[in-house]
Structure 1
């Protein structure tokens, strides 16, 4: 899901004017707030020393495109279970010459076949039931293959300092459980976490933070967020975690 920009618009434009142009030219691919903040994090070396990007819950490649804009030389490995979204993901990898590889598979705690609920807006696709589903919101179901990141990463180029992005609509704890070995070689995790879950039994932000903390990760930044328009309460946020067990990349 694309979230709201943390910074006022004029501050974002001053911080990353070239990224605003990306937003105008590629509206369907760019969340300006997140792209601008990734750019600033790199420029200030708050994100540094990474050798690859692992995009879990890739949808049609929006994050892969933004990450490629910021780190054009790094390989990106994207994982998307929905066959329709994956077709767009493949096309976008080719269209924008993104190095790396897309994979048509879900990631979770174990190898299995799972039922994916697919909505009109594919960013809402999930293995969990939506709690506040609109009566007119249609969806279908498809059975997809699920594996673990610990299993799949061994067949890909070795990483020593990965950047892992999680956007899996409440399924974060399962992905983390199946990534214990991989996380030892991961420097940063960017996770979209929920403070008011839209999915039944979806992971809450504090559960994700605790699970990552058990693997040595500490939250250092909030890169983007979504607020309730009436109350102003935070509903979701993109939170950046750093692995304190790895050597400092500076």
Structure 2
């Protein structure tokens, strides 16, 4: 068993048994990793109201950010937050593997909104995530935006917070991914949305794209039992 296979086996064992002794609660400082990898552009996919990008700014990252958020109410707040930052752009669009319009389900807590139906396990773990409405949105592919999005020789950090829609975003980014040096995405340990891939399949898919797992952090846990349902995975290009 080579080192990559050993790591994948260790990750799966830890996640399956909920043994998080070696999985830290929070990645210490993404801006340090960004500086180490000489990242010039962060693609903040599923930005909600700008929480992720704001944290990067607080940690010291001063490079370009492009945030993507399809929901109209959340996008207005995002755009307002970014309005005083000349290196932070916002696009009101969802990303996937298709072009056109789509219906997104709006969660009560906003950030759990998804293009996919939510399963009962998610609602049990976070009752405030229950869907409360729907909205028609625009959806496009990262590859469609590529010519106007990434400057020549820019190294990219791609962050996906898309509630079970990770595979579709990656499918629509095949020409964009060669520019990506760091990939961050949610990995679900149990089914939370219909049709989503769980962590073993997602880790394998990202591995085939040429990325190695660097770090895991605790993300979504059942508010009553503490059971970890979802983690964030940070991957780097090998």
| Residue of 65, 68, 72 corresponding to 2:57 | 68
Equivalent residues of 1:170, 1:199 under 8 A apart: yes
Distance in 2 between residues matched to 1:224 and 1:101, nearest whole Å: 28
Q: In 2 relative to 1, CA 108–138 (structure 1 residues): closer, same or farther, beyond 3 Å?
A: closer
1:129 match = 117
Equivalent residues of 2:113, 2:131 under 8 A apart: no
Does residue 159 of structure 2 align to residue 165 of structure 1? yes
Report the aligned-residue RMSD. 2.6
TM-score (norm 1): 0.76
- Residue 213 of structure 1 and its aligned partner are, at CA, apart by 1.3
Q: In 2 relative to 1, CA 44–74 (structure 1 residues): closer, same or farther, beyond 3 Å?
A: closer
Does residue 209 of structure 2 align to residue 221 of structure 1? no
- Residue 178 of structure 1 and its aligned partner are, at CA, apart by 0.4
| Residue of 140, 149, 165 corresponding to 1:147 | 140
Equivalent residues of 2:100, 2:139 under 8 A apart: yes
Distance in 1 between residues matched to 2:199 and 2:215, nearest whole Å: 14
1:86 match = 75
2:7 match = none
Distance in 2 between residues matched to 1:162 and 1:129, nearest whole Å: 30
| Residue of 102, 124, 127 corresponding to 2:90 | 102
Per the alignment, in what secondary structure is the counterpart of residue 123 of structure 1?
Answer: coil
Equivalent residues of 2:44, 2:52 under 8 A apart: yes
Between 86-95 and 220-229, the greater mean CA deviation after superposition:
220-229
Q: In 2 relative to 1, CA 77–211 (structure 1 residues): closer, same or farther, beyond 3 Å?
A: same
In the alignment, structure 1 segments of 5+ residues that lack a partner are 1-5, 13-32, 245-250
| Residue of 170, 195, 200 corresponding to 2:194 | 200
- Residue 222 of structure 1 and its aligned partner are, at CA, apart by 1.0
- Residue 238 of structure 1 and its aligned partner are, at CA, apart by 0.9
Per the alignment, in what secondary structure is the counterpart of residue 201 of structure 1?
Answer: coil
- Residue 226 of structure 1 and its aligned partner are, at CA, apart by 3.3
Per the alignment, in what secondary structure is the counterpart of residue 165 of structure 1?
Answer: strand
1:55 match = 44
1:233-244 matched pairs, under 5 angstroms: 233-244=227-238
Equivalent residues of 2:183, 2:235 under 8 A apart: yes
Structure 1 stretches of 4+ with a deviation exceeding 6 A read none
- Residue 176 of structure 1 and its aligned partner are, at CA, apart by 0.5
Equivalent residues of 2:44, 2:158 under 8 A apart: yes
